[in-house]
Amino acid sequence: MTQQPLNFDGPTFDRALDGARLTGQLHRVLAVMRDGRWRTLREIAALVRGSEAGVSARLRDLRKARFGAHVVERRRRFGGLFEYRVGVMG
Protein backbone atom coordinates (compact mmCIF):
# COMPACT_ATOMS: atom_id res chain seq x y z
CA MET A 1 0.00 0.00 0.00
CA THR A 2 1.39 3.40 -0.99
CA GLN A 3 0.96 6.27 1.47
CA GLN A 4 0.16 9.75 0.20
CA PRO A 5 3.15 11.99 1.08
CA LEU A 6 2.41 14.29 4.00
CA ASN A 7 2.88 18.05 4.07
CA PHE A 8 6.60 18.30 4.85
CA ASP A 9 8.45 21.52 4.04
CA GLY A 10 11.81 23.22 4.27
CA PRO A 11 14.39 24.69 1.92
CA THR A 12 15.95 21.33 1.02
CA PHE A 13 12.73 19.30 0.86
CA ASP A 14 11.86 17.88 -2.56
CA ARG A 15 8.44 16.20 -2.60
CA ALA A 16 9.37 13.82 -5.42
CA LEU A 17 12.61 12.72 -3.77
CA ASP A 18 11.74 12.93 -0.07
CA GLY A 19 7.95 12.76 0.35
CA ALA A 20 7.40 9.00 0.43
CA ARG A 21 10.54 8.33 2.47
CA LEU A 22 9.73 10.88 5.18
CA THR A 23 6.05 9.90 5.28
CA GLY A 24 6.96 6.25 5.77
CA GLN A 25 9.48 7.08 8.48
CA LEU A 26 6.98 9.30 10.32
CA HIS A 27 4.39 6.51 10.30
CA ARG A 28 6.94 3.95 11.54
CA VAL A 29 8.09 6.23 14.38
CA LEU A 30 4.52 6.87 15.45
CA ALA A 31 3.64 3.16 15.27
CA VAL A 32 6.60 2.26 17.52
CA MET A 33 5.97 5.09 19.98
CA ARG A 34 2.20 4.59 20.37
CA ASP A 35 2.80 2.21 23.28
CA GLY A 36 3.91 5.13 25.50
CA ARG A 37 7.27 3.55 26.43
CA TRP A 38 10.36 5.69 26.97
CA ARG A 39 13.08 5.13 24.33
CA THR A 40 16.33 6.80 23.29
CA LEU A 41 16.84 8.01 19.74
CA ARG A 42 19.15 5.03 19.16
CA GLU A 43 16.49 2.58 20.34
CA ILE A 44 13.82 4.15 18.14
CA ALA A 45 16.17 4.30 15.15
CA ALA A 46 16.94 0.59 15.46
CA LEU A 47 13.23 -0.28 15.56
CA VAL A 48 12.27 1.87 12.55
CA ARG A 49 15.43 1.20 10.50
CA GLY A 50 16.43 4.85 10.38
CA SER A 51 19.07 7.25 11.65
CA GLU A 52 19.01 8.98 15.01
CA ALA A 53 18.94 12.34 13.21
CA GLY A 54 15.96 11.25 11.13
CA VAL A 55 14.09 9.96 14.19
CA SER A 56 14.78 13.21 16.04
CA ALA A 57 13.34 15.16 13.10
CA ARG A 58 10.25 12.95 12.96
CA LEU A 59 9.65 13.42 16.72
CA ARG A 60 9.78 17.18 16.13
CA ASP A 61 7.35 16.75 13.24
CA LEU A 62 4.92 14.85 15.45
CA ARG A 63 4.64 17.92 17.69
CA LYS A 64 3.42 20.05 14.75
CA ALA A 65 -0.32 20.58 14.27
CA ARG A 66 -0.26 19.31 10.68
CA PHE A 67 1.17 15.99 11.91
CA GLY A 68 -1.22 15.54 14.82
CA ALA A 69 0.10 17.89 17.54
CA HIS A 70 1.24 14.90 19.58
CA VAL A 71 2.73 15.39 23.02
CA VAL A 72 6.36 14.27 22.72
CA GLU A 73 8.02 14.14 26.12
CA ARG A 74 11.74 14.15 26.78
CA ARG A 75 13.65 13.25 29.94
CA ARG A 76 17.24 12.63 30.86
CA ARG A 77 18.07 8.95 31.23
CA PHE A 78 21.57 9.72 32.53
CA GLY A 79 24.43 12.05 31.69
CA GLY A 80 23.77 13.52 28.25
CA LEU A 81 21.47 10.70 27.13
CA PHE A 82 17.80 11.56 26.71
CA GLU A 83 14.79 9.38 26.11
CA TYR A 84 11.44 10.19 24.54
CA ARG A 85 7.86 9.04 24.59
CA VAL A 86 4.76 10.04 22.71
CA GLY A 87 1.76 10.62 24.91
CA VAL A 88 -1.05 8.16 24.38
CA MET A 89 -3.78 9.88 22.38
CA GLY A 90 -7.47 9.46 23.28
Are the C-beta atoms of residues 19 and 30 closer than 8 Å to each other?
no
18 SS3 class: helix
Q: Give the separation between CA 58 and CA 9, rounded to whole angstroms.
A: 13
pLDDT 10s digits, 31-80: 999 999 999 999 999 999 999 999 999 999 999 999 999 999 999 999 99
* pTM of the full structure: 0.87
In a domain, 4, yes or no: no
In a domain, 79, yes or no: yes
pLDDT of residue 49: 96
Return the CATH number at 61.
1.10.10.10
Domain region containing 68: 15-86
Start-to-end C-alpha separation, the chain? 26
Going along the chain, which residue ranges are E strands? Answer: 39-40, 72-78, 81-86
pLDDT of residue 11: 83
